Structure 1
Amino acid sequence: MPAARNLDVSIYRSRLIVALVLFALSAVLATSLIVKMDRGFDFTDEAFYLMLAQRPTEYEFVLGLFSYAIRPLYLLAGESVSAFNRLGAVILAGLGASLGWAVLERLRLSWRDPDAILIVGMALLAPFFYYTYWLPTPSYNWLVLVAGWILALGLILLQSRPTVSAFIVALAIAIALFTRPLNVAAYCAIYIAGVLCAFADYRSRLAQLGRTMLFGFGLVAALAASLPLRTIARQINGYLTVFGGSHPNPFSMRDQLLDFFTEGWIWWVSGVLLLVCMLARLYERPAIGKYGALVAFSAIVLLGLSLLQRRFDPSNCHVFSVLGGGGFAMLSIACRRDASLKWIALLALIGLIPWAATLGSAGRVCFQVALFPGLSLMVLVMATVLVLPRSFGPTIVAFLGIYLAYRATAAGLASPYRLATSVDRQTISTEIGPQGALKLDERTREFVQTLQRDVASRGFCRDDLAIDLSGEVPGAVFAIGGRMPVFPWIFAGYPSSHRLAGEYLKMVGPERLRRAWLIMGTSVHSLKTEEWKGLGLDLASRSLVDNLAHPVDGSAVKLYAPIVERGPC
């Protein structure tokens, strides 16, 4: 009927306009974050990543192999910190867009379809949840995220393009090898489960796993040919000498999981509900599926209402529970529709990747998983398209995704990780590192420039030895253009810190120590002067060059000149 046709056209146009607006908002938010990636400099973690990327082969032991993976990006960025940060963000956006297009192909959506526009827009923005704490420098967590998105892409293509999927997943696992062993194991397990779900017969399953292993062996062989394996073996042996087989910050995985179950119980319960609904669909128990869908709908409503609370804390699992739990609940409803059960299972496995990305980390799961909920958002969007196609349902979910991405990144910009002020107040251009400049706040700029000026007046040359003995400001070494021998960060405040300090002194040796600039700190967690004296370090023969206030906590940071003066640069 003409009236009904006109109504359909009107609804379509409204959906299309709103979808285009939301796509534009996603692009603007992502672009604004990329633009701000020349602001701020963290003297601990960020500096640690940068110094490892600078010279990964020079250190005598390593904490993981991620430095070898991020160094090519660092060189591609011309050793500019801001360009390095932005390159990492562009790679994430590209991976998101690739996954979005793969979903369109899998669902056979036209690019003019409002649902297609929303899917691509969300895929473009979703990886930017990674910047919740505003640590924009690529690191091991960044590599875990990259590998996770590539793995998700491989799962999306598993049924339609199995050979391409095999290569993509092999690439994801190869990248994950540079992160943590548990991440590799978890990603492999997710992929194997995906193969079991996607293919009905054992011959097809074995063929797919064989293709993946073949590509994987080829990539590993290429990596082995390009990496300095003897140096890596020596560095691993150095790590074992210092820490044994334990983590520098020992943790209990059992306690982590119990804590995560307590804080993230909504995600767990939603996952169990999805499993029940899938089994009910598989074994043709419609009554169970019906009640499961009702419970899932109630869960979605309650999760939506939970967003009305004013307080926003990205580290308490709330965002992950809303997106991850909502995605599982929506997939539970999809089990009542005519959607492919295999496709639902693959989306459910993608929903496990954010949790798998946290395995092996010493921190709280809820704190870590705040970096990775982008894939949970994508599962929620795709599940909504399955349940409510050609409706305003995906539009509402896309609006929710933009809102949560904005709140999460806004929290990071307002309270960035270990910076003196908010990112918006980091506006003064300051030379840091071999190439380029970063925008800093007034206190941090004054701290950096005073160090640079005073070491230069005492004959310091770029790449001279400098050691942060406080464990609180290794970034000061990077800021003045120094080179920290043995290892770029003597972690302070860990159970293993005293042992690390003693082993560091043995490894650095008296000769290099005499030629090195030394930095001492007085903050609560720093390694104190008395502790170093107890380990045999003598500061009495050194001249004090600077006694500055740390830009973040105001504690005293002292700079000592080397005992042996060097000649002209």
Structure 2
Amino acid sequence: MAADEQNYSAQSAQKSPMENALVALCAAGTVLIISWLIRYSAYGIDFTDESFYLVWIANPFLYDVSVYLFGFVYHPLYSLLGGDIAALRQANILITFGLAWILTYIFLVSLVPDLKVNRITLLTLSAGFATSAFILFDSWLPTPSYNSLALQSLLISTIGLILADKSEHRASILGWVLIGVGGWLTFMAKPSSALALAVGVFIYLLLARKLSIRMLALAVSCSLALLLISALLIDGSILLFLKRIQLGVEFIGYLGGGHSASQILRIDEFQLGEKLKTTILLISGALLLALWSMCTKNKKWSFIGLLISITLFLITASLTLGQMHRAAGFGQFQGLLIFAVVYAATAAALAHGRLQALKTVSARQWSIAALFLVMPHIYAFGTNGNYWQAGSSAAIFWLLAGLTLLGPLIRERASWLLALPLAVAAQAVTTTLLQTGLEQPYRQPQPLRFNVSNLDIGPQRSALTLSEDYSAYIASAMAAAKNAGFDPNMPMIDLSGQSPGILYSLGAKSIGQAWIIGGYPGSLNFAEASLSRTSCEKIGVAWILFEPDGPRSISPELMSRLGADFPGAYKQVGMWQTAEGAGGYKTRRTQELYRPVKPQETMANCQMLRQKSQK
């Protein structure tokens, strides 16, 4: 028996020339993709969602009501990097990749433990598959956010689940601690996802026969301890922390945006366009042919797999090196393209071993595969968008689930060779989806490669490369504010409903909320509720950004509800035109900047209204 194991290990350590070539392709693809994303990390900015992330991360302690707590998690990183937006994005990219790499590595080791001696191949293969985590950025919102923290948290949690066991050895204890840390971070990202994760983890532990009350208590204690520390650091009190979240849920309900409990508990559907269906079939078919050629005993056919892999690598290389610029145009469910690799892996395993292959997959492997399949929905749970569309940002979990059945086939052949074309294909799929984001960045007017205007924005004067229109828009706002005497850290109320990016560029304190979002049925009530918790002193001295007849503008009635006479108690001191495409709207609009001229009167009226409401 020992001799067989030694022969098996020796065989696994020997790599064929084809395997060496595929390892080189996979390694090159990983380097190209990461370098590509790092290079573009200083390009572009979205004035709405992404700017909201920046405002929230830059000064999360300014707000006492919130459901999403990611700003507190990322704020130390923001401070460490000096508010450099490009560096912040790069850190987010590398953190996501690093966690995905670790998860993929330990997962592959768990599938075929005997092959872990082949470190270089396994590390390269794991890195290749890990690049699929970058699908998170397929609309080009690379700034840290609740979405990125949710994915990173789930990666940490699943690393812990694989390591965890009933026994109390070092790796198992680390695994249970990571489960607790992952649960805490998921709560800080999206409480709804944390709830879904708790259910998923418990079911997994039961099915995998890993449940240990003692060790589960360790994970729960770790998570609760971190939450307690967070509550004390953020609000100084557990009750105030709970009040923050309670009011956050209540305020989101005012918007009427589809976040109620009855609305998030649903089963969504998806529809694949003909182009996407055809592409999935073509990639799956090509991969099946590649895997078949590598399994055949006829060496004349074996190089077909290498040729197909080279073709897929050339797609990655052409896109990352700027030789191709077209967006794929697969539609809103483009992230489901990753199923081309999943289908190929599953079909290859079943075709080779038929149903016998299923018998060699352990209960733990089935359990983690099942958890991986639902993990994208855990990630998306609570969003008001389609769960399949939102969940595809965590498509790496679908990919890993599809690799489960390859375990018996790889074990039989004592080689990772068959997994390498799948990794190269996953890289090509990821690059194709990322290309869509770079060519059609979220709420930006043009492909990022056309951006040529350099501008320093924000309180830390962070350098970005923007479109000429976006650069002119921001520069005009900054110049008007400076000429009017506006200084960084002065409070401002955004009545445009869609310009947290302008407030961030000016270095303004966005009081009430990091983004007083307009365009929803209850936006006015949301804004009033948020600002009702802001001191009357701040409201009295706050400047106003107003967008007359804007598509998402907050009604000036808000100011009268706060005790301010707008525009009577204010003086217009600046005006500029928005850029085409800003906020996702093609038409240019006028924005106006107002300075308070009767701050004491506004403050007194505000205090009087609040006293009346308390009676």
The superposition leaves residues 438-497 of structure 1 with CA deviations (integer Å, 9 ceiling, x where unpaired) of 111111111111111121112111111222201111211110111111112121111221
Per the normalisation by structure 1, the TM-score is: 0.81
- How does 1:168-247 map onto structure 2 within 5 Å? 168-199=178-209, 205-230=212-237, 232-233=241-242, 235-236=244-245, 238-239=247-248, 242-243=251-252
Deviation at 1:194, TM superposition (A): 2.3
Distance 1:555 1:259 in 2: 38
Q: Residue 567 of structure 2: which of 528, 539, 562 is its match?
A: 539
Q: Is the 8 A contact 1:173 1:188 kept in 2?
A: yes
Distance 1:236 1:9 in 2: 53
Counterpart in 2 of 1:482? 508
Higher mean C-alpha deviation, range 106-115 or range 64-73: 106-115
1:313 aligns with 2:354: no
Distance 1:474 1:221 in 2: 31
1:554 aligns with 2:558: no
2:331 partner letter: D
Q: 1:325 to 1:362 in 2, by over 3 A?
A: farther
1:91 aligns with 2:95: yes
- How does 1:12-411 map onto structure 2 within 5 Å? 12-106=16-110, 107-108=112-113, 109-110=115-116, 112=118, 116-159=122-165, 161-199=171-209, 205-230=212-237, 232-233=241-242, 235-236=244-245, 238-239=247-248, 242-243=251-252, 249-251=257-259, 260-263=268-271, 311-313=329-331, 315-316=333-334, 318-319=336-337, 321-322=339-340, 336-337=356-357, 338-388=360-410, 389=413, 390=415, 392-411=417-436
Counterpart in 2 of 1:277? none
Counterpart in 1 of 2:604? none
The superposition leaves residues 322-344 of structure 1 with CA deviations (integer Å, 9 ceiling, x where unpaired) of 45666676787786322323223
1:88 partner letter: N
Point out where structure 1 has 5 or more consecutive residues left out of the alignment: 1-6, 265-296
Deviation at 1:316, TM superposition (A): 5.0
Higher mean C-alpha deviation, range 208-217 or range 461-470: 208-217
Deviation at 1:235, TM superposition (A): 3.6
1:453 partner letter: A
Deviation at 1:52, TM superposition (A): 1.1
Deviation at 1:356, TM superposition (A): 1.0
Q: Is the 8 A contact 1:430 1:445 kept in 2?
A: yes
Distance 2:399 2:385 in 1: 23
Q: Is the 8 A contact 1:516 1:561 kept in 2?
A: no
Deviation at 1:234, TM superposition (A): 5.3
Higher mean C-alpha deviation, range 511-520 or range 119-128: 511-520
Q: 1:92 to 1:235 in 2, by over 3 A?
A: same
1:415 aligns with 2:415: no
Q: Is the 8 A contact 1:43 1:473 kept in 2?
A: yes
Q: Is the 8 A contact 1:115 1:394 kept in 2?
A: no
Q: Is the 8 A contact 2:107 2:162 kept in 1?
A: yes
Counterpart in 2 of 1:3? none
Q: 1:238 to 1:369 in 2, by over 3 A?
A: closer
| Secondary structure of the corresponding residue to residue 134 of structure 1 | coil
1:424 aligns with 2:434: no
| Secondary structure of the corresponding residue to residue 313 of structure 1 | coil
The superposition leaves residues 393-422 of structure 1 with CA deviations (integer Å, 9 ceiling, x where unpaired) of 312211220111011100011111111221
Identity %: 20
| Secondary structure of the corresponding residue to residue 566 of structure 2 | coil
2:189 partner letter: T
Distance 1:222 1:513 in 2: 31
Deviation at 1:254, TM superposition (A): 7.0
Deviation at 1:179, TM superposition (A): 2.5
Counterpart in 1 of 2:480? 454
Deviation at 1:263, TM superposition (A): 3.8
Higher mean C-alpha deviation, range 85-94 or range 537-546: 537-546
Higher mean C-alpha deviation, range 176-185 or range 59-68: 59-68
The superposition leaves residues 517-538 of structure 1 with CA deviations (integer Å, 9 ceiling, x where unpaired) of 2222257631266665886752
Deviation at 1:242, TM superposition (A): 4.0
Distance 2:136 2:39 in 1: 16
C-alpha RMSD over aligned residues: 3.7
Distance 1:238 1:191 in 2: 28
1:559 partner letter: E
Deviation at 1:172, TM superposition (A): 0.4
Higher mean C-alpha deviation, range 431-440 or range 249-258: 249-258
The superposition leaves residues 25-78 of structure 1 with CA deviations (integer Å, 9 ceiling, x where unpaired) of 122102211221111111111111111112212224224222222212211222
How many residues align? The count is: 524
Distance 2:282 2:457 in 1: 52
Higher mean C-alpha deviation, range 554-563 or range 348-357: 554-563
Q: Is the 8 A contact 1:448 1:479 kept in 2?
A: yes
The superposition leaves residues 151-206 of structure 1 with CA deviations (integer Å, 9 ceiling, x where unpaired) of 22122223493222101111100101112332112212222222223327xxx633
Distance 2:249 2:266 in 1: 29
Deviation at 1:22, TM superposition (A): 1.4
